[in-house]
């Protein structure tokens, strides 16, 4: 897996905007969510062809929106379109019930469905079934998706009322609870009518253990059982999701002639071919071409990429990001990637798990131009692709840090009171104030560029060997790699950090988040299930326990409040190295039992007393723990001949306006796919 989410509770907890910056970052706030804007600095300085290329690619990035909704649950599109119909036509928009429906609809938009985007638990309407039933009956038939329900409002309500309201129906989008059938108990739309064992048997029968360049089996399909037969519904032109894929292809074909060079043109052509055929070998060919495209300033991701939404880590959600290189900030990333072999050679892991020759590691800092699919509204702050292990090993990988997104978080988080509430002393606050932004970005650089690209699987080890634990183990491996080297003198020598004390900001922030403050994102009584959160608690709890004898890190009480105290930063680094060595061994050997033991021991269970305390303290700050974004608007300017002679950018759209516009302009799928 290869995304870094905005992991700091602090970064995800902000008020509005930096008083020294006239740009208004905060757009909307509801429930536990806040919507921000991000700037796209430098867009106006691009050439006309580059602007047009971004415009066409951004349109392609928006056309797959309905795919993700449907992937997250088979009723999501029905529910969203029904809610939107009520929202646009309901007469009494000042009533309490309508306001509650508005909040629920905003949450559905934000999470791309009825399950929380991060915790994956189903969230429930605060309005009643009776109100919703009456609202549906009062809505014009032509506004509702009745075609899928015998043109009957009664059939529509019969289908979606249990999905929305019942506490025992589709309760968890991604279930990773040990001992349960992870396929049957997950509410996503990647499988239908099959059990976990049947999924395993189906794909194990397809795999060749001797194949050293395997395709990503099942990546772009839904696995179903009908009339006793199990088969794949492939997501391609003419297959499942074809109407949306046709639109994506349309914009990619308009983008292709504007490619900055022949390599980028080959990338776009190969992606179009993949969408047309659904052939996963073509996807691998596209991925290799994409990795080798290092000269283009404009870049993009578009397709079925990340597998966090599948408890078995096979099926990929649809996502897209369009971006261009931040030339100045990329110098930092290029220094890191240029020294990739040194970092690999000096890693504290066993030599047999290291790459003898690090190939094709490239890194850059990007300015995001548009976000789509599973990168929107909540978005990663870093990406490393491709995910295929053999492509990484033979051809390399491409890593990005999304700095205009991290900057938006940082600018919006000024003066929110978080550090004063949770940080142990002014000494740590000063370190965070002085170095927190740069060390956070450096950690993302190291995580994406080197962490995900480091190490190697031993011959014969399947990439899926760790099954449901694989995502958390992989994220822990990349995080540990970044943490270990953040404290290395090499970073000061390379000019990446200002001095030998700066790394302490990342160490303190990471431990505080992993041990305490990320708990504010979890409902009381729940365990941790999201892969990135499991990863962070695994690392923090393991270090706390294994450093207990020397009191390397402690949880201390003061005035009835718990704080993280780091007593020995260098010993903490030694523990990070030990855990990195073990997790790389687990990954390289495919040691499922060891992965399970680590995750279940350190990553899942939550201290209920500490959890309650963190939730109460955080609530007093009146901050939203989760953030997402609206996109800028790109408007082509046409000359008298109908040719585009400029592309303008603006930022004035509200969250509601953008979501309704996207639903009108980029909704191509039926609700029953």
Written as one string, the DSSP assignment of 185-237 is T--SSSEES--HHHHHHHHHTT--TT-SS---TTTTEEEEEETTEEEEEEBST
Q: Rounded to an integer, what distance in angstroms lies between the CA atom of residue 31 and that of residue 34? A: 8
Of the listed ranges 146-160, 381-395, 658-672, the least confidently predicted one is 381-395
pLDDT at 523: 87
pLDDT at 13: 39
Cβ-count burial 26-65 (b if 16+ within 10 Å, e if not): bbbbbebbbbbbbbbeebeebeeebbbbbbbbbbbbbbbb
pLDDT at 664: 97
Of the listed ranges 113-117, 466-470, 504-508, 622-626, the least confidently predicted one is 622-626
Return mean pLDDT, the chain: 94
- Taking residues 51-68, report their average pLDDT: 98
Quick one: pLDDT band at residue 382, thresholds 50, 70, 90?
confident
Residue 299 has pLDDT above 50, yes or no: yes
Quick one: pLDDT band at residue 9, thresholds 50, 70, 90?
very low
Q: Quote the radius of gyration of the chain (alpha carbons, Å).
A: 24
Structure tokens at 70: 């449907």
What are the pLDDT digits (tens) for 185-242? 999 999 999 999 999 999 999 999 899 999 999 999 999 999 999 999 999 999 999 9
Q: Rounded to an integer, what distance in angstroms lies between the CA atom of residue 583 and that of residue 644? A: 52
Which residue carries 């055929």 as its tokens?
A: 277
pLDDT at 363: 85
pLDDT at 17: 39
Residue 119 has pLDDT above 90, yes or no: no
- Taking residues 619-640, report their average pLDDT: 94
List Cβ neighbours of 361 (8 Å cut-off, separation of 6 or more).
337, 340, 396, 397, 399, 449, 450, 453
pLDDT at 412: 75
Question: How many C-beta atoms surround the C-beta of residue 603 within 10 A?
Answer: 26
């Amino acid at each position: 897996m290869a995304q870094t989410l905005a992991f700091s509770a602090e970064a995800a907890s902000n008020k509005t905007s930096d008083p020294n910056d006239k740009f208004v970052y905060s757009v909307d706030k509801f429930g536990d969510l806040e919507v921000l804007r991000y700037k796209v600095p430098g867009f106006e300085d691009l050439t006309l062809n580059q602007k047009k290329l971004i415009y066409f690619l951004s349109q392609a990035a928006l056309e797959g929106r309905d795919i993700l909704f449907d992937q997250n649950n088979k009723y999501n599109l029905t529910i969203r379109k029904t809610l939107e119909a009520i929202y646009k036509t309901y007469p009494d928009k000042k009533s309490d019930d309508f306001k509650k429906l508005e909040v629920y609809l905003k949450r559905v938009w934000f999470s791309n469905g009825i399950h929380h985007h991060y915790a994956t638990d189903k969230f429930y309407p605060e309005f009643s079934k009776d109100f919703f039933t009456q609202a549906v009956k009062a809505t014009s038939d032509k506004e509702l998706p009745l075609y899928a329900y015998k043109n009957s409002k009664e059939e529509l309500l019969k289908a979606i009322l249990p999905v929305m309201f019942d506490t025992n129906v589709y309760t968890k989008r991604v279930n990773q609870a040990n001992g349960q059938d992870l396929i049957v108990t997950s509410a996503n739309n990647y499988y239908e009518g099959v059990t976990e064992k049947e999924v395993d048997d189906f794909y194990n029968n397809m795999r060749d253990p001797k194949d050293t360049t395997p395709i990503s089996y099942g990546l772009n399909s839904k696995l179903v059982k009908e009339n006793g037969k199990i088969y794949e519904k492939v997501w391609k032109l003419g297959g499942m999701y074809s109407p949306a894929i046709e639109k994506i292809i349309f914009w990619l074909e308009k983008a292709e002639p504007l490619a900055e060079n022949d390599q980028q043109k080959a990338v776009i052509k190969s992606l179009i071919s993949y969408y047309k055929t659904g052939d996963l070998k073509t996807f691998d060919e596209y991925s290799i071409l994409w990795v080798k495209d290092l000269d283009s300033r404009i870049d993009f991701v578009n397709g079925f990429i990340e597998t966090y939404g599948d408890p078995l880590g096979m099926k990929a959600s649809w996502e897209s990001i369009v971006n261009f290189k931040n030339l100045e900030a990329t110098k930092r990333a290029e220094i890191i990637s240029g020294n990739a072999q040194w970092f690999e050679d000096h890693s504290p892991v066993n030599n047999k798990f290291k790459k003898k020759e690090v190939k094709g590691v490239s890194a850059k800092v990007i300015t995001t131009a548009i976000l789509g699919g599973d990168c929107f509204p909540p978005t990663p702050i870093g990406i490393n692709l491709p995910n295929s292990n053999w492509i990484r090993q033979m051809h390399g990988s491409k890593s990005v840090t999304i700095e205009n997104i991290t900057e938006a978080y940082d600018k919006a988080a000024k003066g929110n009171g978080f550090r004063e509430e949770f940080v142990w002393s002014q000494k740590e606050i000063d370190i965070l104030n002085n170095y927190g932004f740069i060390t956070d970005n450096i950690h993302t650089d190291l995580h994406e560029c080197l962490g995900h690209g480091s190490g190697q699987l031993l011959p014969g080890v399947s990439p899926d060997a760790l099954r449901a634990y694989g995502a958390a183990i992989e994220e822990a491996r990349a995080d540990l790699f970044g943490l270990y080297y953040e404290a290395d003198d090499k970073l000061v020598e390379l000019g990446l950090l200002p001095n030998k004390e700066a790394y302490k900001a990342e160490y303190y922030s990471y431990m505080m988040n992993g041990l305490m403050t990320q708990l504010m994102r979890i409902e009381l009584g729940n365990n941790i299930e999201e892969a990135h959160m499991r990863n962070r608690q695994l690392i923090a709890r393991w270090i706390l326990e294994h450093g207990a004898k020397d009191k390397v890190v402690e949880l201390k009480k003061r005035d009835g409040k718990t704080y993280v105290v780091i007593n020995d930063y260098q010993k903490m680094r030694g523990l990070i190295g030990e855990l990195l060595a073990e997790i790389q061994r687990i990954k390289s050997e495919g040691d499922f039992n060891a992965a399970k033991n680590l995750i279940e021991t350190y990553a899942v269970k939550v201290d209920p007393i500490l959890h309650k305390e963190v939730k109460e303290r955080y609530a007093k700050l009146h901050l939203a723990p989760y953030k997402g974004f609206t996109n800028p608007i790109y408007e082509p300017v046409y000359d008298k001949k109908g040719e585009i002679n400029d592309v303008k950018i603006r930022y004035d759209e509200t969250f509601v306006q953008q979501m309704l516009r996207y639903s009108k302009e980029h909704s191509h799928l039926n609700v029953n796919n």
